[in-house]
Amino acid sequence: MASQPSLLTLAERQVTETLERRRGDIVDLAATLVGFDTTASRTGADGGEVPALQALLAARMQSAGFEVELFVPEPDDLPASRMLAAGHDMTGRPQLIARRPGTGDGRSLLLNGHVDVVEVGRREAWSSDPFRARLSAGRLYGRGACDMKGGVAAMVLAAEVLAELGVPLRGDLSLNTVTDEESTGAGSLACVARGLHADGCLIPEPTSGQVWLGSRGVLLPTVEVDGRAGHTGLARGDELDGPGVGAIERILPILEAMRGLREQWWAQRGPGETPGWIVPTHISAGEWIVTFPDSCSVQLHVTYGIGQADADGWGTAVEREVEARVRAAALADPWLAAHPPRVHWSTDVPSGTISADEPIVRTALGAAASLEHHTGITSQTTWIDAITFSRSGTPAIGFGPGDLANAHTVDESIDVSELVRAAQALAVCAMRFCGVAGERSPRPRSERTEGVAQPAGLLAAP
């Protein structure tokens, strides 16, 4: 075995060496988690396979000596928020909070991860069953392997090994697995509402081992336009004067307007800024193959940068900008001017960031440096639950295994060696952030953030 980096304490070396020996256990747990179909769109009384997965993790954490709470939030348990529709239903989707008390005089650390995954799409496009993990050439394949069941496996093994070795953490260590991250963020919001908090939080999302300080916000509007039903066999040269008007073609000016708006955002961005983007993700129209569709709706995924958010981090200003661009496009089109499009707004998950000087950031950077990982602070774009915790007073960062480019893809996968490195980094972070009774963890110069530039796109909102 290669010698461990000298910047680790004896206790840290013991933990990291144990996790290296437990490589197979980390992979086995990740593969087991992939085997549960926890697709985010699944709702209803049975909750798909979320209850079984959460029960498995609860049993493991309880066996490791953690205090375990497993609960299904009721609609009244959720706070009023732009993130959620009124009466948001989480039936069948339990949330897990596990806690190992410290000796009482250290900082508390939260490890959070989501267990829901996105739809697999066309199964025939996959090389193998997306819910039966496959190990090939050092990579683990399956839906959620990268985003983020691999990260969850890494944090569970890190917590288990710390407990099994009897590492006397001075601060409390909590582990939290949630649902709904891929849709509304309701899982972590419910846990915060239940009182979950800590002095710092690590979320092993697929950050390629880098530190994400925050993220852009997300709006999910639907734009609807009217057509006029009629027999397509009677179509003639001037459709607007014919028996029918196809709503699909009438929505094209709106899509072009959204393309122009997103390009404008990027053309006008400041140095290092990460503005928003607009992606049409779902379109619905048509009733019959020989009938002009009399309506068409398109769902948009609208991200917005921190600099585009309002003073509270929400996307109200972006909503107004999108609506104004839709109105302008409609006025320039004869049919839409007479039949104005309608914009329906659903949820808004806020943007946010934390300072690079936060102790949790310095701890993550220092642990990675001691493990000789190539880690820095990077700007990122996708929304993660870190925003919910940071806004509630628990500074949180993304810091985990896997490349985001592999998330949500056909044949999603993750490098097994990254899972081991992530588990080691998370364990060392826990020891340094919470503190170890009777031992002073090293704080090498590399842990300090003097001279570490915070991306301009992640500056705190005013």
Top-level class of domain 10-215+351-458: alpha beta
Query: Within a 13 Å sphere around the CA of 282, how many CA atoms are in the beta-carbon half?
Result: 6
Integer-rounded Cα radius of gyration of the chain: 24
Please, what CATH class does the domain formed by 217-349 belong to? alpha beta
Q: What's the CA gap between 273 and 389, in Å, rounded?
A: 23
Contact in structure between 120 and 132 (CB atoms under 8 Å): no
CB atoms within 10 A of CB 20: 16
Beta bridge partners of 141: 134, 413
- Rounded CA-CA distance 223/301 in Å is 11
Token pair belonging to 442? 């090293």
147 catalytic per annotation: no
pLDDT at 277: 95
Cα atoms found within 13 Å of the Cα of residue 334, Cβ hemisphere only: 5
C-alpha–C-alpha distance, residues 163 and 333, integer Å: 66
Q: Which of 12, 116, 147, 226 is catalytic?
A: 116
Compute the distance between CA of residue 160 and CA of residue 66 in angstroms, rounded to an integer.
9
DSSP 307: G
Amino acid 46: pLDDT: 63
- 289-348: per-residue pLDDT in tens? 999 999 999 999 999 999 999 999 999 999 999 999 999 999 999 999 999 999 999 999
The DSSP line for 139-163 is EEESTTIIIIIHHHHHHHHHHHHHH
Given the residues 172, 181, 239, 385, select the one marked as catalytic.
Answer: 181
Give CA–CA dist 384/153, Å, rounded: 18
Which residues of the chain are modeled with pLDDT < 70?
1-6, 41-47, 237-240, 379-380, 440-462
Digit-coded pLDDT (tens) for 208-246: 999 999 999 999 999 999 999 999 888 776 666 778 999
| Closest C-alpha among 116, 208, 219 to residue 398 | 208
- Tokens of residue 113, six digits: 């991860």
- Reported as half-sphere exposure (CB side, CA atoms, 13 A), residue 113 has a value of 30
Per-state percent for the chain, helix, strand, coil, to nearest 5: 35, 20, 45
Tokens representing 284 are 């619905």
Short-list 311, 348, 317, 318, CA closest to 461: 311
Check if 116 is active-site. Answer: yes
Per-residue pLDDT at 461: 29
Q: Which residues pair with 207 in a beta bridge?
A: 403
What tokens appear for 285 in the block? 């129209």
Domain spans, the chain: 10-215+351-458, 217-349
